[in-house]
Amino acid sequence: MATDCKAWLNANPVEEADLSDFASAEEDNGGSVSGGRNLNETNGNWLSLSSNNIQEARLKAKAKRRLRKTSSRDSGRGDSLSDNGDAVRGAPVTPASPKSKLMDRKSRCGKGRGLPKKGGAGGKGVWGRSGEVYEPEEVDKKDPNYDDAQENCVYETLVLPLDERDFEKTVTPIVQEYFEHADTKEVAEQLSELNLGPMQSEVPLLAVSLALEAKASQRELTSRLLADLCGPVLTCGNLESAFDKLLWELPDLVLDTPGAPQLVGQFIARAVSDQILSESYIDGYKGRVNCEYTRAALDRAAVLLKMSLGGLRMDNQWGAGGGQKPITQLIKEMNLLLKEYVLSGDGAEAERCLRDLEVPHFHHEFVYEAIVMVLESKGDKTFEMILQLLKSLSASSVITVDQIGRGYERVYMDIADINIDVPRAYFILEQFVDKSFSLGIINVKLRDYCPSRGRKRFISEGDGGVIKLESC
């Protein structure tokens, strides 16, 4: 220690102001300073001190003062002084600063390598290390809470059965959504999640009741739904009970749907054809029916089943919806509709048939076929009848303005090809467009867009013998 202090003094010379440390050092050693001489008291006698003792006392004082200044900073390192003033490395001491205790994230036990606590699995809201998989915990039979009866318990979710009040609120949206997406598997999954209980027979009853007030395409979807649900969700007994209730409630259904007996008869015939109802179902009512509506429904079903033996396809008795039909079939049905209208002249029937096609997005094809029929026809009868039909359909908004415009534009684009087969096509089209504008079917812009046939100009018209092509 003395050697270190000498080396430090050689590097840092002591000033005169530091000589005051000598006095404190002498006081610590029991000595005093008097008249500029170094004295020491031993047994009541003052003795002079050697220069080496003075130097050693000065170094000890300097070392003590340095330790006092750094005590707060180095308190955690455990530095202390021995009896002779040498610094000794001791056991670590906990930091005295309260702030350092709060901010210190390392372990305070004085062990470890400064890693996170619990290997990173500790902390608020943490259930273990990331990606750690827990194995099944074995039951401790010595646990005071252990119960033998709980070892073989199986816990399952309990779904309460639906009552009559909640049944209609739950199942009606499912059937109405099915009319939009037409996915029978999704309906089967949704119904299987419900505890229908004794209300299983009410599912076909509710579906058919909703289909009676819907379109033909939705009745076709209902027949497919009943066929697909029979087995996974419903039984043949549930379907028979549902149709029994339908026949019993026909007097009330007729008030809202006058054609309910014929429609119910078609549903029964389709169910028998799909083999979800027994063939003897209709025969079981013979001689036991007093209601005229029930008798009409059963007679309708019996007639359809006899016709199916002659080759009638029962799987398409309702017809397919417009979005499910191929385009070629739609075009064919529109042509038949126009030909029937020209022969009968019944505009209301033509409008009803067009609505039943359920293709409002494809009405431009109807307008296109109507104008082409006018161009290919002979005489003014077809010309006038098609104009009146388009006027009535436009006034009733069955065909929208944009669909009419697209139909006319398609004719404008194909008029050059049509003119090959019909030489007077340009002339007839100009007349038809002018009449359509006068009746308010089309606007000025669509009328002006109508193309006209180019013609030759000859020498007699003053072109100097040059033949030119010019559009009128």
Question: What is the CATH classification number for the domain harbouring 223?
Answer: 1.25.40.180
Which residues make Cβ contacts (< 8 Å) with residue 377, sequence separation at least 6? 383
Is 282 a domain residue? yes
436 and 389 Cβ atoms separated by less than 8 Å: no
DSSP helix/strand/coil, 123: coil
pLDDT at 169 over 60: yes
Start-to-end C-alpha separation, the chain: 122
Say if residue 20's pLDDT is above 50. Answer: no
65 secondary structure, DSSP code: H
267 & 300 share domain: yes
- Give residue 222's identity as a one-letter amino acid code: T
Answer yes or no: is pLDDT of 237 > 60: yes
Report the alpha-carbon distance of residue 425 to residue 402 in Å, rounded. 24
Last residue of a domain, one of 309, 342, 360: 309
Q: How far apart are CA 411 and CA 451, in angstroms?
A: 10
Residue from 300, 362, 295 nearest 327 by CA: 362
Range of 1-15, 136-150, 224-238 with top mean pLDDT: 224-238
| In a shared domain, residues 383 and 277 | no
Q: What is the pLDDT of residue 30?
A: 46
Domain that holds residue 218: 164-309
Question: 299 and 229 in one domain?
Answer: yes
Torsional sign, CA 462, 465, 470, 472? positive
Judge if 297 and 334 occupy the same domain. no
Q: For residue 472, what pLDDT is reported? A: 42
Number of domains in the chain: 2
Stated as kind and residue range, the H or E segment containing 243 is helix 236-248
Residues 297 and 177 in one domain: yes
Reply yes or no on whether the pLDDT at 250 is more than 90: yes
Instruction: Point out the domain boundary residue: 309, 340, 364.
Output: 309
Position 152 in a domain = no
- Residue 80 resides in a domain: no
Q: Which run of H or E residues covers position 39?
A: strand 37-42
Are 283 and 225 in the same domain?
yes
Supply the pLDDT for residue 324: 67
Same domain, 304 and 341: no
Whether residue 369 is found in the same domain as residue 294: no
**Is 132 or 393 the better-scoring residue by pLDDT?**
393
| pLDDT of 312 strictly over 70 | no
pTM (2 d.p.):
0.52
Q: Is the pLDDT of residue 314 over 70?
A: no
The H-or-E segment that residue 89 falls in is strand 87-89
**Cα separations in angstroms, 159 against 172, 193, 231, 233, 234:** 19, 8, 21, 16, 18
Q: Is 331 exposed, middle or buried (0-12, 13-18, 19+ CB in 10 A)?
A: middle
What pLDDT shows up at residue 36? 44
State residue 42 phi and psi, 5-degree precision: -135, 115
Residue 28: the pLDDT is: 45
Confirm whether 320 is domain-assigned. Answer: no
- pLDDT on residue 319: 62
Least confident of 39-48, 153-162, 233-242, 332-341: 39-48
Dist CA 439 CA 388 (whole Å): 9
Burial level of 180, CB count in 10 A (0-12/13-18/19+)? Answer: exposed
pLDDT bracket for residue 240 (50, 70, 90): very high
User: Is 122's pLDDT higher than 50?
Assistant: yes
Nearest to 296 by CA among 245, 253, 247: 247
What percent of the chain shows pLDDT beyond 70? 71
Cβ atoms 172, 206 nearer than 8 A: yes
pLDDT at residue 322 greater than cutoff 70:
no
* 121 domain-assigned: no
* Measured CA angle at 366 (ends 434, 397), to 5 deg: 75
For all residues of the chain together, what is the average pLDDT? 79
The region of weakest confidence among 9-13, 199-203, 267-271 is 9-13
Q: Are 456 and 469 in contact (CB under 8 A)?
A: yes
pLDDT at 43: 47
Tell me 463's DSSP state. S
Residue 214 included in any domain:
yes
Residues 294, 175 within the same domain: yes
Mean pLDDT of 434-455: 89
- H or E element, residue 81: strand 79-81
Whether residues 256 and 368 share a domain: the answer is: no
Cα–Cα nearest to 272, from 238, 241, 251, 301: 301
What residues contact 5, with CB distance under 8 A and at least 6 apart? 59, 60, 62, 63
* pLDDT band of 157, cuts 50, 70, 90: confident
Q: Calculate the alpha carbon distances from 330 to 47, 338, 408, 410 in Å.
A: 134, 12, 19, 17
Distance CA 363, CA 355 (A): 10
Sheet strands side by side (includes 32-34): 32-34, 37-42, 45-48
Sign of CA dihedral 80, 84, 86, 90: negative
Kindly tell me if the per-residue pLDDT of 461 is higher than 70: no
Q: Is the pLDDT of residue 91 over 60?
A: no
Which has more confidence, 459 or 366? 366
Say yes or no to pLDDT of 149 above 70.
Answer: yes
Helix or strand (DSSP H, E) at 5: helix 2-11
23 pLDDT more than 50? no
Phi-psi region of 199 (alpha: psi -120 to 50; beta: other; left: phi over 0): alpha
Give yes or no for a contact between 89 and 56, defined as CB atoms under 8 angstroms apart. no
- Tens of pLDDT, residue by residue over 265-282, are 999 999 998 889 998 999
Q: Read off the tokens for 108.
A: 């305070």
- Output the pLDDT for position 136: 79
Do 231 and 273 lie in one domain? The reply is yes
Residues 204, 239: one domain?
yes
Note the pLDDT of residue 456: 53
Q: Lowest-confidence range among 74-83, 215-224, 361-370, 442-451? A: 74-83
48 has pLDDT over 80? no
